[in-house]
Amino acid sequence: MHSQILAFFLWLSSGAQVAAQRIRASPTSQTFKSAIVADSGLTYVKNSGICETTRGVGQSSGYINIAQTASIWFWFFEARHSPQTAPLTVWLSGGPGCSSMLGLFQGMSINPKNGPCTVNPDGKTTTLNPYSWNTISNMIYIDQPVGAGFSTGSMTVTSTDAAAVMMWTALQILFESPQFSSFQSRDLILATESYGAHYGPAFITYFIAQNALIDSGALIGKKVIFKSLMINDGKHDPLIQYTSYITFAEDAPGYGPLQPASVISKMSDAFFQNDTGCRARLQACYAAGTTSADNALCAAANSLCVSHFIIGPMLISWSRLFKKHHDIFLPATQGRDSEDLLRSSSNITFPPLHYESYLKSDSVLAAIGATSAYVSCSEVVVSAFNSTGEFGRTALPPLAALADAHFPILIWVGDADIKANWLGVHESYAATNWTIDGVPVASMKTVDSFTFSRVFRRWTPLTSIRT
């Protein structure tokens, strides 16, 4: 299975795209009522003709109603080749609180995201992506937790562990339904990005524990067995990542210094101050427990290090919540795009947000069965997670445990990304080079079932495939 996810990733995108736009009449909504989860079910439409216009390739979109007051949005696309036997890849965007529609739609024209189409600059039409991930895998994009994307309701999720419970419930309903029951036995791949470095390992760990309860007879439900995990530009550990802002700004491998010595000096002073600096406060958080006082300590530690942080298209100001800060992030990125050091900072939104206009179109919303307003990244969710101090805590223990258990993992990083720079994920160069037409495009290192890749000259990884 590990070789399969590597092959999946290695098919890199390039080439012309095919113009496509075919909005059909609003299809009839279909429903399913769960017998496993009380007051839950599915509400969805099939074959809307939106985005995926390849003849004979099916799709479904709608809501997993996990409770009377909470609904999780999903958008499913069949594989273009051998959908009856192809794996199912579950895509979750990060944030926390960012929509998986970011993974489906948003990206540069030369490096589109992994969905079946991109939205054209007019915000009304789409272009078919012949190198979409659903070329070889069935794909389902899920907006989670409640509050992200089209997902809506009154449930408040304040941590990754709570989000894992919500995600388990959603998948129980999904795999119970006649529409998706056949996918339960397929090879399941969990693919995620950014804050997904928290989601992925924690979710799979929780699912493994739930599966064991089902095996023992202590729980009635559908087993959810993921075979591999893929993490794109992940934020695994704040202490390592924030340290890497200084290292990367001082000398980004392959690019040179990003900031002058005076800026590096100020960043270092703020980070390494004895008892009051960013490092000391994060170390205190790592040693803390999970009481409300500990949560406040960890939230304050993160705020001290990063007074402003870009999550999706939002600029979150931590200083709204905490008055004192020693900012590490903004000095590292000044004058440059935080997600692409090859670009200068400007007022021009990059990547462009044409897809947001598309997802506000009444005809598109009606066709895909969306009845709630779209929120690309929810500041409400960010604030909820921050209240438990999660941003100041490491996500490495569950990842390490999965690796120790020989669970197949692929982590890949674009080496032009400052915000989730690759030095913060891996401290040394990897050993094996990938090439296309003889030109190196990435380096890779594999230890047992764990693979790390640095992708050259990309603000974010190559997220489409090339056959």
Query: Which of 181, 135, 99 lies closest to 356 in space, CA to CA?
Result: 99
pLDDT tens for each residue of the chain, 467 residues long? 555 554 554 443 333 344 455 555 567 889 999 999 999 999 999 999 999 999 999 999 999 999 999 999 999 999 999 999 999 999 999 989 999 999 999 853 333 478 999 899 999 999 999 889 999 999 999 999 999 999 999 999 999 999 999 999 999 999 999 999 999 999 999 999 989 999 999 999 999 999 999 999 999 999 999 999 998 888 888 888 888 889 989 998 888 999 999 989 988 888 888 788 889 999 999 999 999 999 999 999 988 887 644 344 444 443 333 333 346 778 888 888 777 788 776 655 556 788 999 999 999 999 999 999 999 999 999 999 999 999 999 998 898 888 888 899 888 887 888 777 767 766 433 333 444 455 554 555 555 655 655 555 544 444 444 43
Question: Which DSSP letter does residue 206 get?
Answer: H
Q: What three-state secondary structure class fits 94?
A: coil
For residue 260, count other CB atoms closer than 10 A to its CB: 10
Q: How far apart are CA 157 and CA 170, in angstroms?
A: 14
**Domains by residue range for the chain, with CATH:** 2-236+395-455 (3.40.50.1820)
CA–CA gap between residue 430 and residue 445 (Å, rounded): 5
Which residues neighbour 304 within 8 Å (Cβ) at sequence distance 6 or greater? 277, 278, 281, 322, 324, 325, 326
- Say which residues have a Cβ less than 8 Å from residue 166's Cβ, sequence separation at least 6: 66, 70, 72, 144, 145, 146, 155, 157
CB-CB contact of 318 with 387 (8 Å) = no
Angle 160-176/196-216 helices, nearest 10 degrees? Answer: 60
**Cα–Cα distance list, 168 to 174, 254, 371 (Å):** 10, 42, 23
Strands 439-447 and 432-436, by their bridges, are antiparallel
